[in-house]
Chains A and B, each alone.
Chain A
Amino acid sequence: MIEKVMLVDVSKCTACRACQVACKQWNKLPAEKTQQHGTHQNPPDLSWATWNLIRFTEVPLKDGGVKWLFRREACLHCTDPGCQRACPVPGCIVKTPEGAVVINSELCIGCKMCVNSCPFEIPRINPENNKAYKCTFCWDRISHGLIPACAKVCGPGAITFGDKDVMIARAYARAKALGGDATVYGDKYVQGTHVIYVLPEKVRMYERMVVNPSIPISLILWKDILKPLSVLAIGAALVGTFFHYVIKGPKRPEEGGE
């Protein structure tokens, strides 16, 4: 099977951030100045140079304690990617047979339409060259039979990579074994994401985790309805004016006039 899925078993993640580092190393992404916000969150958010980070969430409990949650945050590689639908440049955002959604940043014109159309708000612009960047699913590795850098380096085995159906089956088996609120996140959205999570807690507990993500209605209205409708309307106007000329004819002033 050529289509691959990355399974992120959040219950096994120890927040060591080796995946964060491996991603930077393989993709030759520079380190960034970071800020301390009083939590373990570092750097604070994804950026053009940080495609993969551990997102920390502190959930206050009723008994005064805190539930400490963390998960890998990166592009989910949708089967139906909003970013690709929105991109005006042919070939700039492509899907590979493995399921990777890759921004060819060299072709990017900095219109930011992918940034605003992603249901997960993943792509980021490099302000220096005004081009969009995000996780590539390590397409340059997986197309040569290697596994993504983050999966390769993951010590506790929270990130695994393999054939789509095998990984989905493994995800459901794991969620069932965990029991409680454990769920599988990804395979049901945007025709299936190629990064699938096993979440031990409810989806809404995790910061920046979108509950029931889908292609935005605005994107459907824009690309699937109004765009073809505009072609239809302009075409109808061309045909209409042509036949107006043929049937009704032009409005001519009287010969000679006054």
Chain B
Amino acid sequence: MAKPKSKNLILASTTYERVVHWVLALSCLFLFLTGFGLMFHSLSFVARFFPGGHATMKLLHNIDGIIFGIAFLFALIAWGKDTLYFDEDDKKWFRVLGGYLWEVEKVPECGKFNAGQKTFFIVLFIFWFIMVGTGIFMWFPIFPPALTRWLYVGHVFGVLVLGTFLVIHFYLGTYGNPGTFQVMGHGYVTKAWAKLHRPKWLRDVEAGRRSI
């Protein structure tokens, strides 16, 4: 998007970040759709959307797993340096859980990502590894059956954790935090939004200490 005329708006995410996020989001949703179609007999009607039914659905699930798996590597480049650490303010943030659950006088200030978002990314990192690792050897089972059956356990555990996280992530990124969705939309947010959600980041950007 072209730079908006309003002084009140500030760019919160680069084109690279937004594209990577959309690839991750769409491939992830498709993995859930096809995965649920395979996981629950009651949802096997999903297979009817694909010519060739279950066999096609499974193959697309496998291929999409590769897309998701590679997309996450780009995500790691985009967000790894801002998420894979915790500082003192993050510890304070955890103590009040960002003010999301009870009234808090002052939510500890955070940079580009708060401690909750960092946790989300770290959990995603761990389960990206688990899902891709188990998925590949479910697709190409080179291990003996006694081991391969434990991969199914790991994979469904990933569904449990990632499915729950996805719901919360979706809520916090949309109607739970008005104005946030544009971070993955056209990328511009109001400065009021940035002051609330990324106070340290806003100061850094305005002082020229970081570009974005």
A216–B101 alpha-carbon span in the complex (Å): 41
Using a CB–CB cutoff of 8 Å, the interface residues on chain B facing chain A are: 8, 38-39, 41, 44, 54-55, 58, 99-101, 138, 141, 145-146, 148-150, 152-153, 156-157, 159-161, 163-164, 167-168, 171, 175-179, 190-193, 195-197
Structural contact, A89 and B44, CB atoms closer than 8 A: yes
Structural contact, A116 and B100, CB atoms closer than 8 A: no
A163–B200 alpha-carbon span in the complex (Å): 78
Stretch at the interface among A49-57, A65-73, A105-113, A197-205: A105-113
Stretch at the interface among A1-9, A167-175, A223-231: A223-231
CB of A241 closer than 8 Å to a CB of B: yes
Structural contact, A248 and B192, CB atoms closer than 8 A: no
Structural contact, A253 and B153, CB atoms closer than 8 A: no
Stretch at the interface among A11-19, A40-48, A185-193, A232-240: A232-240
Using Cβ atoms and an 8 Å threshold, which residues of chain A touch B157?
226
Structural contact, A234 and B58, CB atoms closer than 8 A: no
CB of A153 closer than 8 Å to a CB of B: no
Contact of A257 among B41, B153, B167, B192 (CB under 8 A): B192
Known: A222-B156, A254-B192. A237 touches B178 (CB 8 A): no
Interface residues of A in 204-258 (CB under 8 A from B): 216, 218-219, 221-222, 226-227, 229-230, 233-234, 236-238, 240-241, 244-245, 248, 250-258
Using Cβ atoms and an 8 Å threshold, which residues of chain A touch B163?
230, 233-234, 237
B159 and chain A: residue at smallest CB distance: A230
CB of A88 closer than 8 Å to a CB of B: yes
Known: A253-B179, A253-B193. A109 touches B55 (CB 8 A): yes
Structural contact, B176 and A250, CB atoms closer than 8 A: yes
Structural contact, B167 and A234, CB atoms closer than 8 A: yes
Known: A251-B177, A251-B196, A258-B8. A112 touches B160 (CB 8 A): no
Known: A116-B149, A230-B163, A241-B171. A111 touches B101 (CB 8 A): no
- Chain B nearest CB from A104 CB (Å) reads 12
- Chain A nearest CB from B129 CB (Å) reads 18
Contact with B along A113-125 (1 / 0, CB 8 A): 1011110010000
Structural contact, A88 and B38, CB atoms closer than 8 A: yes
Using Cβ atoms and an 8 Å threshold, which residues of chain B touch A86?
152
14 extra A-B contacts, CB within 8 A, seeds A253-B178, A257-B193: A88-B39, A88-B41, A88-B44, A90-B41, A111-B58, A111-B138, A113-B138, A113-B152, A230-B163, A237-B168, A244-B176, A245-B176, A251-B99, A253-B197
A117–B138 alpha-carbon span in the complex (Å): 12
Structural contact, B195 and A258, CB atoms closer than 8 A: yes
Interface residues of A in 76-101 (CB under 8 A from B): 86, 88-90
Using Cβ atoms and an 8 Å threshold, which residues of chain A touch B160?
226, 229-230, 233-234
A222–B195 alpha-carbon span in the complex (Å): 45
Structural contact, B178 and A250, CB atoms closer than 8 A: yes
Structural contact, B193 and A218, CB atoms closer than 8 A: no
Structural contact, A253 and B176, CB atoms closer than 8 A: no
A121–B148 alpha-carbon span in the complex (Å): 12
- Chain B nearest CB from A231 CB (Å) reads 8
Structural contact, A227 and B168, CB atoms closer than 8 A: no
17 A-B pairs within 8 Å (CB atoms) are namely A112-B141, A115-B145, A116-B148, A116-B149, A117-B152, A218-B153, A219-B152, A221-B153, A226-B159, A233-B163, A234-B164, A237-B167, A248-B101, A252-B178, A254-B196, A257-B8, A257-B191
Contact of A253 among B39, B55, B152, B196 (CB under 8 A): B196
Structural contact, B171 and A245, CB atoms closer than 8 A: yes
- Chain B nearest CB from A15 CB (Å) reads 27
Known: A89-B54, A90-B44. A222 touches B152 (CB 8 A): yes
Q: Which of A109, A216, A233, A245 has the most CB of B within 10 A?
A: A109
- Chain A nearest CB from B108 CB (Å) reads 14
Pairs A-B, 9 closest by C-beta atoms: A257-B192, A241-B171, A237-B167, A230-B160, A253-B192, A116-B145, A109-B55, A88-B38, A234-B163
Known: A226-B160, A258-B192. A250 touches B38 (CB 8 A): no
Using Cβ atoms and an 8 Å threshold, which residues of chain B touch A233?
160-161, 163-164
Contact of A218 among B44, B99, B150 (CB under 8 A): B150
